[in-house]
Amino acid sequence: MIEGLNPALILIIGALLVPLFPQPWRRVYVIALPLVSMLQLVLHPYGSFAEASIYNVPLETFRLDNLSFIFGLIFHIAAVLGVIYAIHDDDPIHPTAGLIYAGAAIGAAFAGDLITLFVYWELTAISSVFLIWARRTESAFKAGMRYLVIQIGSGVILLAGVVLHYRETGFISFNEMNLESIGGKLIFLAFGIKCAFPFLHNWLQDSYPEATASGTVLLSAFTTKLAVYALARGYAGTDMLIWIGALMTAFPIFFAVIENDLRRVLAYSLNNQLGFMVVAVGIGTPLALNGAAAHAFCHILYKALLFMSMGAVLLRTGTCKGSELGGLYKSMPFTTVCCIIGAASISAFPLFSGFVSKSMIVSAVAGEHLTFVWLMLIFASAGVFHHSGIKIPYFAFFAHDSGIRCEEAPLSMRVAMGISAALCIGIGVFPGVLYSILPYPVDYVPYTAAHVITQLQLLMYSALAFTVMMLWKIYPPELRSTNLDTDWFYRKGATAALLPVTALAGQTTDSLFTALAKLKDRTLGLFDKTVGPGAWLSRSVDSSGMVALTMGSLLVFLLLYLL
C-alpha cells in the first residue's frame, strides 16, 4: 500500500499498457491490475490525500470515507468480473477502454472537489463509448454517437454548474449542495442525466443493448451508479428526488413488458432499480442512505449477472430477441442457472442479495409514512419480478423450443457468472458482511416474519398474474420490432420536423450557388473587356501618350489634395 496513491490512477495508467502485452500475458495482466488497485483501496486509511491547487483553487483529488469506500469497492469488484468475463476475447479494446472506464468511475467517487469530479466525469463518457463502438456495426456506431453527445452534454452542464457554484459560494469542494442557486440546479441536472431521470433516460436503453456482450456488463456497473453516489454525496434529503425516484421505478415496467430485445428489457429494469436508490437518497435518513448504498452494491452484481447470461446467449446464438429464443436450457444449463439466480436477486427473493438491500429502502419509506410512494415501490417490486424475474429466463431458456442447439458459454464467461452468482447468494444469506461496510451504523434486521411473508406474497401474486396472462393468451406477444419511448423525439420526430427545413435549406443553397455562378461569369466578362487581349488597358501606348497620362493623373491628385 502506498499512502496517498489514488487506486483510480493505477487502473487508468495501467490500462494504457494493455495493448503492449502479448497473449497470454495480457490476460494475466488485466486481471491482476484491478486486483492490485483493489488491494490499494482496502489497505488505505480514510482521509484526504493528494491535495493540490490550480489558479489558487484548492483541489482534493483523493478523499476516502465510508460513502466513497463502498462505491469504490464495488466498482473494483465489477472491474474484476468484467475483465474475467471478456478474457476469451483477444480484442484489446475491451480491457483497455473497460479499465479506463472503471478507473474514471472510481476516481470520480474519490473526488473531494467538483473540478476533479468533472475531469473523471468526462473520462467515463469518452472511455465507455468505445465499449459500444467495439461491436463494429452501423447501429452500434449511431447509438454510440447519440450516447456520446448526451454524456458529454452532461459534462458540459456539470462544468457550467461548477463555475456558477464557485462564483456564488466561493467553494469548490464536493459536499452537500442545494437547489437554491443556479449552479446547484445545473449540477443536479448533470447528475440526473447520468442517473437516467425520467425523460432524460433513454440514452440507456438506446446504447447499452448495442454494445458488445462484454461491454454491456461494464456499462451496467459504473455510469448510473456513479450518478447515484453523486446524488447521495451532494443532494441527500432533497424531497424532489423521492418523487423522481418513485416515477423511475414505475414507468419502465410498461415498456419492459412489451419489449422484445431481452437486453433492452434489462436496460429498462436497470432504470427501475435506480428509482429505488434515488427514492432512498431523497429521504436522506441514515437507514435510507444505507439502503441506497447497499442496493447499488447488490444491483451491480445481479445486474451484471443478468447481462452476462444474456451476453452468453448473444454470443452463442447471435440474437437476444425473445421471439427467436427458447429451449436454451438444454444447451446452456449453467447459464440458465446463473440467469435464474440473477432473476431471483433482482426480484428480491429471500436469501438473495436484492432482498437484504431493497427491504431497507422500503422500510425507510414506510418509516417516513410516505404511503403513496410505498405503494409505488410495492407495485414496482411486483413489476420487476414480472419482466426481469420471470420474462428474461422464461423467454430465453424455457419458452417454446426454438430449435437452437449451441455450445455452453466459454469458460471465462462461466467463471465470471459463477463468482457473481455466489456473491448474490452469499450476501443474501449473510447480509451482515455487507451491512458492516455501509456508510452509517446498521441496526436493521431484514429477516423478520413480516418482511419475508410480505415479500413472498408479493412475488407469488406477481407469478400468478404472469401465469394467468400466459394461459389466457393475453400477455403482450414478443413482436419482431424496436420500441421507442422518449427517443422518438430525436430519432423520428426531430427527423420529420427537420425535413421541411432541410428542403428549404437545399433550395436556398441551390439558388445561392446559381447566383454566385452568374456573378462569377459577369465578373470574368468585365475583366476580359478591360484587361483581356485587345482591351484598352492591354494596348501599348507611345511615350507621348504615357507622358500625357502621367500628367493627367498628377493633376487629378493635386486637385483632390487642394480641395
Residue 445 φ then ψ, to 5° = -120, 110
The answer to whether the beta carbons of residues 266 and 310 sit under 8 Å apart is yes
Residue-wise pLDDT tens digits, 331-375 = 899 999 999 999 999 988 899 998 999 999 999 998 888 889 999
Whole-angstrom distance, CA of residue 290 vs CA of residue 488: 37
Q: What is the pLDDT of residue 416?
A: 94
Over residues 306-320, mean pLDDT: 90
Task: Write the DSSP assignment of 270-311 as a string of letters.
Answer: HHHHHHHHHHHHHH--HHHHHHHHHHHHHHHHHHHHHHHHHH
Whole-angstrom distance, CA of residue 278 vs CA of residue 299: 13
- Judged by average pLDDT, the poorest of 3-12, 320-329, 335-344, 495-504 is 495-504
Whole-angstrom distance, CA of residue 554 vs CA of residue 305: 92
Across 260-274, 421-435, 496-510, which has the greatest mean pLDDT? 421-435
Dihedral over alpha carbons 99, 278, 239, 187 (to 10 degrees)? 20
Q: Which residues contact 142 (CB under 8 A, 6 or more apart)?
A: none
In the beta sheet, which residues pair with residue 62? 49
11-40 b/e (C-beta count within 10 Å ≥ 16 → b):
bbebbeebeeeeeeebbebbbebbeebbeb
Task: Write the DSSP assignment of 229-242 as a string of letters.
Answer: HHHHHH-TT-HHHH
Residue-wise pLDDT tens digits, 269-308 = 898 899 999 999 999 899 999 999 999 999 999 999 999 9
Please report, for the chain, the start and end positions of each structural domain, with discontinuous segments joined by +. Answer: 1-233, 236-484
Please tell me which residue, 395 or 126, carries the higher pLDDT value. 126
Residue 478 confidence (pLDDT) above 70: no
Over residues 449-463, mean pLDDT: 82
The kind and range of the H/E element at 49 are strand 47-54
Q: What is the pLDDT of residue 459?
A: 81
Residue 491 confidence (pLDDT) above 60: no
Please tell me which residue, 427 or 553, carries the higher pLDDT value. 427
Q: Find, among 352, 361, 344, 231, the residue nearest to 295 by Cα.
A: 361
Residue 535 confidence (pLDDT) above 70: no
Q: How far is CA 256 from the centre of its chain?
A: 18
Amino acid at 495: T
**DSSP label at residue 407:** P
**DSSP label at residue 321:** B
Q: What is the pLDDT of residue 321?
A: 84
Residue 458 confidence (pLDDT) above 70: yes
Whole-angstrom distance, CA of residue 71 vs CA of residue 65: 10
Number of residues that this document lists for the chain: 563
The kind and range of the H/E element at 36 are helix 25-43
